[in-house]
Copies of this chain bind each other. A is one copy, B any other.
């Protein structure tokens, strides 16, 4: 049995604001700067989901990317795309939507959908110049 990784890229556009309710407004302003704008700003997020497992000898696939794409679309894109990450996404309720926290949340949602025989890794681009990998 031969192990390989397959990666599927999807994207969503969302508004967000970095803000920790446990901190004062001044502290938030100091830590997050212009990312703390109370009226929100936004990004085109690029999401890469890597799935690692054995190549199925019948299909020649680690996992069917059409199936993987459907899961990502049903469980992530439907919920995150054209939304406000502070207000509209149940799984992010009460969380500060830093790229780290959004990537972690996406991982946790998808981990329940992808069979445990597979390892999973999320790479989330907030901009072309900033991205997060989880797990590290």
Which A residues fall within an 8 A CB radius of B?
2-11, 13-16, 18, 20, 22-23, 31, 33-35, 37, 39-44, 50, 52-53, 55, 58-62, 64-66, 81-84, 87-88, 95-101, 103-104, 119, 127-136
Contact across chains for B132 and A3 when beta carbons are under 8 A apart: no
A14's nearest neighbour on chain B, judged by CB, is B41
Given A66-B33, A133-B4, also A41-B98 (CB < 8 A): no
Main secondary structure of the interface of A (DSSP, over half): mixed
Contact across chains for A42 and B41 when beta carbons are under 8 A apart: yes
A132 CB to closest chain B CB, in angstroms?
Answer: 5
A103 to B2 Cα, complex, angstroms: 12
Given A65-B130, A128-B9, also A83-B37 (CB < 8 A): yes
Contact across chains for A4 and B132 when beta carbons are under 8 A apart: yes
Contact across chains for B60 and A132 when beta carbons are under 8 A apart: no
- Chain B residues lying within 8 Å of A16, measured Cβ to Cβ, are 42
A64 to B33 Cα, complex, angstroms: 11
Q: Which of A10, A13, A88 has the most chain B CB atoms inside 10 A of its CB?
A: A13
Given A42-B15, A42-B43, A44-B44, also A6-B37 (CB < 8 A): no
Q: Which of A11, A22, A61 has the most chain B CB atoms inside 10 A of its CB?
A: A61
Contact across chains for B62 and A100 when beta carbons are under 8 A apart: yes
Query: A43: which of B13, B37, B83, B84 is its contact (CB, 8 Å)?
Result: B13
